[in-house]
Amino acid sequence: MMTQNKFLIPILALGVFGILNTEMGVVGIIPIIAERFQVSVPDAAWMVSLFALVVAFSAPITPLLFSKINRKTAMVLALSVFVLSNLVSIFVESYAVQLIARAVPAFFHPVYVTIAFTVAAMSVVKEEAPKAVSKVFVGVSAGMVLGVPMTSFIADSLSFQAAMIFFASVNIIVLFATLKFVPSLPVAQNLTYGDQFNVLKKPILWISILSAILMNAVMFGFYSYLSDYLQSVTQVSFKIISILLFVYGMTNILGNILAGKMLAKTPQTTLKIIPLILTALYVALFISGESLIVVAIILFALGMIVGIANNGNQYLVSSAAPEAPEFANGLFLTAANLGTTLGTFICGLFIAGWDNQASVLGAIMFALLGFVGIWIRNRVYQGMLVKV
């Protein structure tokens, strides 16, 4: 446990918000990007896809490379790269250069986020670590579910450049706050790369990674098509959809706060019941998807449970390899991105094979598979505790 610093967790949460906002904020302005750079909408979507792919493949590697460097130094470097790339994005006219400006910071996304999780956990006693990490996850949720409408509003009201200034401003604030208020964070336990790679020999780690992939597919496979579901099945206007998405995002943040307390007290039980609750909610959504009132209630609950599940996924992987925290958190980020890609693809196949309502069936399938994975993982984990 490191020395208490009242500014540390808020700065880490804001920093993660800035990183995730840079990644996900452009989701809502793809048509504006296409018009700005005179490219097709599918080509403009590479602003999202390229970033996600770089994160997925670099997440286990870049945190490992920076694992021996002072954590404050690594965070300052990552934030500086994000600031520079945001500034470049304001002025460039070439779409190819714009994509390069997106790809470069994506390599540093896992560096900052994994360190943020690790430092938050180390800032408190071991039993309180899930609570500290859950506070950082508030920044993750805010970046993913609130950053999109905020960026859309700025870009639509002002310009694409204004949205990039917004990204840069948040990251600049965090950079200066980190330099001023975050103390030096030297790596006390200097593990070799070989020591960290050795955690890959642990069966529980692979079971945890697979479970995290399945659970992320549950959450974001359907979320990718939520707006379309509300429009075609529930048949509501875009104004109502925006309100429902905002409610979903706010309850998602609340779920992050609850997750810290639940994972600190009853982690194994929490991990096991979440996919069952998600299954029940998705079944209810499939049955009652045409009723706006019922759908609104379900989305209120769903946002909260997904917030808890997101924290649970990080706990699944990080607790399976506590001796290599940055590397484990990098593996979690890879699992999260692969799960999102898998869930979106499979739920899309369900829609193509049947109709828009069928995306819920894909989520139900992943939830049941996720329950099986977590049940096996918990049995293995309990067996390890007995041996100890």
**One domain, residues 165 and 202:** no
Does position 197 have pLDDT exceeding 90, yes or no?
no
The total of structural domains in the chain comes to 2
- Tens of pLDDT, residue by residue over 14-40, are 999 999 889 888 877 888 898 999 988
**Mean per-residue pLDDT, 228-247:** 85
Does position 1 have pLDDT exceeding 70, yes or no?
no
Q: Is 5 helix (H, G, I), strand (E, B) or coil?
A: coil
Choosing from 161, 188, 215, the residue where a domain stops is 188
Query: Which domain, by its residues, includes 174?
Result: 7-188
**One domain, residues 182 and 202:** no
Does position 221 have pLDDT exceeding 60, yes or no?
yes
- Tens of pLDDT, residue by residue over 252-278, are 889 988 998 899 999 999 999 999 999
pLDDT the model gives residue 388: 45
- Name which of 312, 355, 361 is nearest 336 in CA terms: 312
211 inside domain: yes
1 inside domain: no
- Name which of 177, 180, 181 is nearest 169 in CA terms: 177
**One domain, residues 246 and 346:** yes
Residue holding tokens 């960026």? 151
Does position 365 have pLDDT exceeding 60, yes or no?
yes
Residue type, 21: N
Choosing from 138, 173, 188, the residue where a domain stops is 188
Of the CA atoms within 13 Å of residue 292, those in its CB half-sphere come to 9
**Mean predicted lDDT score pLDDT of the chain:** 89
- Name which of 4, 18, 208, 196 is nearest 119 in CA terms: 4
Instruction: Print the SS3 string covering 29-84.
Output: HHHHHHHHHCCCHHHHCHHHHHHHHHHHHHCCCHHHHCCCCCHHHHHHHHHHHHHH
**One domain, residues 33 and 62:** yes
**One domain, residues 284 and 159:** no
300 inside domain: yes
Choosing from 188, 219, 248, the residue where a domain stops is 188
Reduced to 3 DSSP states, what percent helix, strand and coil does the chain have, rounded to the nearest 5? Answer: 85, 0, 15
Residue 68 dihedral angles phi and psi, to the nearest 5°: -100, 0
**One domain, residues 17 and 40:** yes
- Name which of 21, 31, 18, 17 is nearest 160 in CA terms: 31
Read off the pLDDT band of 44 (50, 70, 90).
Answer: confident
CATH code at position 102:
1.20.1250.20
CA atoms of 38 and 102, how far apart (whole Å): 18
33 inside domain: yes
Tell me which DSSP letter residue 125 carries.
-
How far, in Å, are 109, 161, 188, 210 from residue 98 at the CA level?
A: 17, 12, 39, 34
**One domain, residues 182 and 199:** no
- Name which of 333, 364, 359 is nearest 346 in CA terms: 359
**Mean per-residue pLDDT, 28-57:** 85
Q: Provide the token pair at 373.
A: 């994975």
287 inside domain: yes
**Mean per-residue pLDDT, 178-190:** 86
Regarding pTM above 0.95, the answer is no
